[in-house]
């Protein structure tokens, strides 16, 4: 008996193939094989004339979806149909969540198998799990499919109904989405809070003390029995002390006078408190917490985290990575406890096995938390992983093992000190037993180093002691605006509010950035002026769409549909076609929305208008000379646009750019200007004879006001030639690029070798010796998932011509052969195990010759590309993001 097993990806197929008996053939569907139309060209001719055709959902016939096979999936479907002809049984083994169930259902509908068909599910790819799954096959869960289909239709209705409205009223290419728009509003609300924020200033005293040669610090907390004001006592909207707070606000003069009065006086310990504290380990990872911790520790985006986790799952290293559950199987608990006992000792093992339960009602995506796969956990060192894959696996392994470790026992110490009428406080922490902290500390890469950071050692003090004050200083503080969201904190907020599902957060945040609603700067998500305009429009005219509580209730209803507690059709009818349904609202409001107002962002305390234009945001003011506009630089955030910034931008337009002087050699004027990409210097005027005068961006941290003539001349002289490399004789230069200042070594045929400058280096003054030091450092790759940093699946040998290695690696589209910079896929029918060096050489030679001929004919195909560009653009205009 022969059986066809269908999974989503080639990697998953290869891994599963190892655990199936003879007679089983495993093929990949490459994800979804059928979906709603993504462009006008995909809409079937039979329905093209219907009013609902662009939606891809017949809202007049019980919201019947129109499913099509995308062009790039037709070949795959044909291959799967051919494979099905030669087997006696079909097993659909896609992922165990709602989306996986939906893929299996679509495969069944398309392939129309005439042989017995089963649905196989598993949450890890190990021999034991696959054998068990084969025995426990079931039928497709129609209820789960219906829930996913409802979710898909709902997202389509929101995206394809609201997005065209945004195109008409604000700007082409924008999108709205059921979850996406709420997430954007969350970012915009925080930026509004930052605009409304008023800084408060306060002063206090900091003392450096010692007892028996052990130093410790202490902070002023009271004066004459009254609490000293700190940051938490200020109202962020006024910059003043919050009404009703009985605190003493010190200014600089008062703090300095107090310091002088207390200097040389006797210090006494007035009170001491030691309080034992027990800390328990965090539960194992869910999709959301993995994304958060990966962003904090590894600086990986949610999208990259999920991509890496998907690879780890498909290779059999971890359990399924889309899950809301913190539950661990008995097998996993036993494996984790075995690791603890073996690596850390019995004393670090929790007395009883720890089992975690998920509080969220919607936690139904998978049976277990994310953990290392198998009945015994491979340590990170025992895997063949590298780069990002190793880092993420290490994170998952540590978190899972730590959850079965003993509690951490600590002692919190508070010491109250008195000097005249001033009260000071010192706080310390002593770790009595590290427990799980020995293996895992949230937000820290190195548990050992984190343990040291967590301890604050105080000397052996008792009431009545008189420590020695070695230094007393007055310290000024400014209150800080609310922090912008990072990917980690946004994911945490969305989950706590019940907005969307964690499995979709990665794609949602990716869409927000791709669509220009936010910029990711130093791990912070900064909303753009376009995000403000879109949020303003939706808040005024479609408040429910961006209301977190409304979206959360919608999410709950979708979960209820999955369990049969709610009916899908009445819900869709009410949401879209009801008296206050989305279709009705859009039809009513479209004529009421003024496009000029929709493109205008109203900001508090700003007379100038901010508008969204074809080429980005700009400011507009009206004076005696008429309307004046100026582009807003891309790095100027909504929270930072104030009247002073507006004045600088407009002055350049009204009076012309500031001149810092004339070039000492050419005599040409040098201007400081502000453009869409920030401030820069320009040599000479733009004329017909000189249409592109030389320009150079300012260095990081340099403002237009602080530019000197010497600095401007130096910037315009870039790149600077520093000399030649002592080994190769190649030229070494320093310059300024897209990612900041750098040095480059021209190695001739070998290419160019770049290194970024460190914070202490200056591109205008860096020496040849320093450049050589930087070039001697190992180069840091932008991606650690390339073939150089990960282990080869198989090493075939060396090339007879150049002696370079020929290896087989695992790539996103399956295994491939690599030699130098040439990659070639393994042909269909061949496997990693049976391909020979001779066959690899033939494939590489064929690829090389094809590459040469392709380059020669690239010009002849350009006209064809141009002719299809117009139709592609037309198709793109029909597409809207739906998440």
Peptide bond into 174 cis (omega under 30): no
Helix, strand, or coil here: 248?
strand
Q: Is 320 a catalytic residue?
A: yes
Ramachandran area for residue 81 (φ above 0: left; ψ -120 to 50: alpha; else beta): alpha
Please enumerate in sequence order all residues whose Cβ is within 8 A of that of 620, keeping only pairs 6 or more positions apart, or say none: 608, 609, 610, 611, 627, 628, 629
Sign of the CA dihedral with 485 first, then 487, 490, and 496 last: negative
Q: Give the side-chain half-sphere CA count within 13 A for 369.
A: 28
Ramachandran area for residue 701 (φ above 0: left; ψ -120 to 50: alpha; else beta): left
Distance CA 491, CA 506 (A): 9
Query: Residue 433 forms beta bridges with which residues?
Result: 409
Q: How far is CA 125 from CA 14, 143, 312, 538, 543, in A?
A: 11, 26, 10, 44, 45
Which ranges of 617-763 would DSSP assign to H, the alpha helix? Answer: 643-655, 709-716
Please enumerate in sequence order all residues whose Cβ is within 8 A of that of 458, keeping only pairs 6 or more positions apart, or say none: 214, 216, 413, 415, 426, 428
Q: How far is CA 339 from CA 279, 285, 377, 767, in A?
A: 21, 17, 7, 52
- The answer to whether the beta carbons of residues 87 and 53 sit under 8 Å apart is no
Q: Give the side-chain half-sphere CA count within 13 A for 173.
A: 13
Phi, psi (5° rounding) for residue 875? -65, -40
CA 656 to chain CA mean position, Å:
41
Kind of pairing, strands 822-825 and 24-28? unpaired
Nearest to 830 by CA among 816, 818, 820: 816
Check residue 786 and report its DSSP letter.
Answer: S
Helix, strand, or coil here: 678?
strand
Q: Please count the other Cβ atoms lying within 10 Å of the Cβ belonging to residue 112.
A: 8
Nearest to 152 by CA among 247, 216, 65, 24: 65
Distance CA 38, CA 570 (A): 26
Q: Which is the catalytic residue, given 320, 344, 618, 680?
A: 320
Distance CA 65, CA 56 (A): 6
Sign of the CA dihedral with 632 first, then 637, 643, and 648 last: negative
Helix, strand, or coil here: 731?
strand
Q: Please count the other Cβ atoms lying within 10 Å of the Cβ belonging to residue 878.
A: 17
Instruction: Give the position of tokens 């009428």.
Output: 421
- The answer to whether the beta carbons of residues 371 and 323 sit under 8 Å apart is no
Which DSSP string corresponds to 589-608?
A: HHTT--HHHHTEE--TT--S
CA 480 to chain CA mean position, Å:
24
Which residues are part of the catalytic machinery?
320
């Amino acid at each position: 008996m022969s059986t066809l097993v269908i999974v989503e990806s080639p990697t998953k197929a290869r891994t599963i193939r190892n655990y199936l008996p003879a007679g089983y053939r495993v093929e990949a569907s490459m994800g979804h094989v059928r979906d709603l139309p993504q462009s006008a060209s995909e809409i079937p001719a039979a329905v093209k004339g219907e009013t609902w055709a662009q939606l891809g959902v017949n809202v007049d016939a019980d919201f019947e979806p129109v499913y099509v096979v995308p062009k790039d999936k037709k070949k795959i479907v044909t291959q799967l149909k051919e494979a099905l002809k030669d087997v006696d049984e079909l097993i659909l083994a896609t992922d165990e969540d709602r989306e996986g169930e939906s893929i299996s259902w679509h495969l069944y509908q398309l392939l129309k198998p005439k042989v017995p068909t089963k649905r196989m599910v598993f949450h890890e790819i190990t021999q034991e799990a696959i054998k068990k799954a084969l025995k426990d096959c079931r039928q497709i869960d129609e209820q789960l499919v219906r829930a996913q289909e409802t979710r898909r239709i709902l997202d389509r209705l929101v995206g394809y109904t609201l997005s065209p409205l945004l195109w008409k009223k604000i700007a082409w290419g924008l999108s709205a989405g059921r979850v996406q728009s709420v997430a954007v509003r969350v970012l915009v609300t925080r930026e509004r809070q930052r605009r409304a924020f008023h800084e408060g200033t306060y002063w206090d005293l900091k003392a450096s003390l010692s007892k028996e040669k052990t130093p410790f610090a202490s902070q002023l907390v009271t004066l004459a029995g009254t609490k000293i004001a700190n940051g938490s006592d200020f109202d962020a909207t006024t910059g003043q002390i919050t009404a009703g707070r009985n605190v003493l606000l010190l200014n600089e003069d008062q703090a300095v006078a107090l310091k002088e009065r207390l200097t040389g006086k006797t210090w006494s310990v007035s009170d001491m408190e030691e309080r034992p504290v027990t800390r328990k380990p965090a539960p194992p990872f869910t999709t959301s917490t993995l994304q958060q911790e990966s962003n904090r520790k590894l600086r990986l985006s949610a999208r990259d985290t999920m991509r890496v986790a998907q690879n780890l799952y498909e290779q059999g290293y971890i359990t399924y990575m889309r899950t809301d559950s913190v539950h661990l199987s008995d097998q996993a608990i036993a494996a984790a406890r075995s690791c603890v006992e073996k690596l850390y000792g019995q004393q670090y093992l929790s007395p009883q096995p720890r089992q975690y339960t998920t509080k969220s009602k919607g936690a139904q995506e998978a049976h277990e938390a994310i953990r290392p796969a198998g009945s015994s956990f491979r340590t990170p060192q025992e895997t063949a992983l590298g780069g990002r894959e190793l880092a993420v696996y290490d994170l998952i392994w540590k978190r899972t093992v730590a959850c079965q470790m003993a509690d951490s026992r600590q002692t919190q110490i508070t010491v109250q000190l008195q000097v005249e009428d001033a009260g000071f406080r010192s706080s310390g922490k002593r770790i009595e037993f590290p427990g799980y902290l020995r293996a895992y500390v949230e937000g820290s890469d190195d548990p050992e180093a984190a343990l040291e950071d967590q301890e604050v050692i105080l000397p052996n003090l008792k009431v009545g002691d008189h420590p020695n004050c070695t230094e007393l200083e007055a310290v000024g503080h400014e209150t800080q605006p609310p922090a912008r969201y990072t990917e980690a904190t946004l994911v945490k907020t969305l989950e706590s509010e019940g907005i969307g599902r964690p499995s979709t957060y990665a794609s949602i945040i990716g869409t927000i950035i791709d669509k220009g609603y936010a910029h990711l700067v130093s791990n912070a998500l900064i909303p753009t002026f376009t995000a403000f305009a879109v949020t303003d429009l939706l808040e005024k005219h479609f408040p429910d769409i961006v209301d977190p509580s409304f979206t959360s209730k919608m999410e709950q209803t979708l979960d209820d549909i999955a369990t049969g507690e709610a009916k899908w059709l009445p819900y869709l009818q009410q949401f879209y076609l009801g008296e206050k349904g989305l279709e009705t609202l859009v039809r009513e409001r479209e004529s009421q929305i003024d496009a000029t107002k929709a493109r205008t962002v109203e900001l508090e305390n700003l007379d100038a208008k901010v508008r969204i234009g074809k080429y980005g945001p700009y400011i507009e003011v009206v004076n005696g000379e008429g309307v004046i506009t100026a582009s807003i630089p891309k790095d100027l955030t909504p929270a930072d646009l104030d009247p002073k910034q507006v004045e600088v931008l407009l002055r350049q337009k009204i009076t012309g750019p500031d001149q810092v002087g004339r070039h000492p050699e050419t005599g040409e004027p040098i201007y400081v200007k502000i453009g869409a990409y920030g401030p820069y210097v320009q040599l000479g005027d733009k004329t017909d004879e000189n249409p592109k005068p030389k320009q150079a961006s300012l260095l990081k941290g340099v403002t237009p006001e602080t530019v000197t003539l010497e600095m401007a001349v130096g910037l315009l002289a870039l790149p600077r030639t520093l000399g030649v490399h002592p080994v190769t004789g190649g030229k070494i230069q320093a310059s300024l690029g897209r990612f900041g200042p750098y040095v480059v070594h021209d190695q001739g045929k070998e290419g160019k070798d770049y290194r970024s400058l460190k914070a202490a280096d200056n591109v205008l003054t860096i020496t040849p010796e320093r450049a050589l030091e930087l070039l001697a450092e190992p180069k840091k790759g932008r991606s650690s998932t390339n073939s150089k940093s990960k282990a080869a699946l198989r090493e075939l040998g060396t090339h007879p011509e150049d002696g370079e290695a020929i290896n087989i690696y695992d790539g996103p589209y399956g295994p491939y052969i690599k030699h130098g910079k040439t990659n070639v896929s393994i042909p269909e029918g061949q496997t990693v195990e049976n391909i020979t060096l001779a066959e690899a050489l033939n494939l590489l030679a064929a690829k090389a010759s094809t590459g040469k001929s392709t380059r020669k004919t690239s010009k002849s195909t350009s006209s064809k590309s141009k002719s299809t560009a117009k139709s592609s653009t037309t198709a793109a205009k029909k597409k809207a993001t739906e998440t």
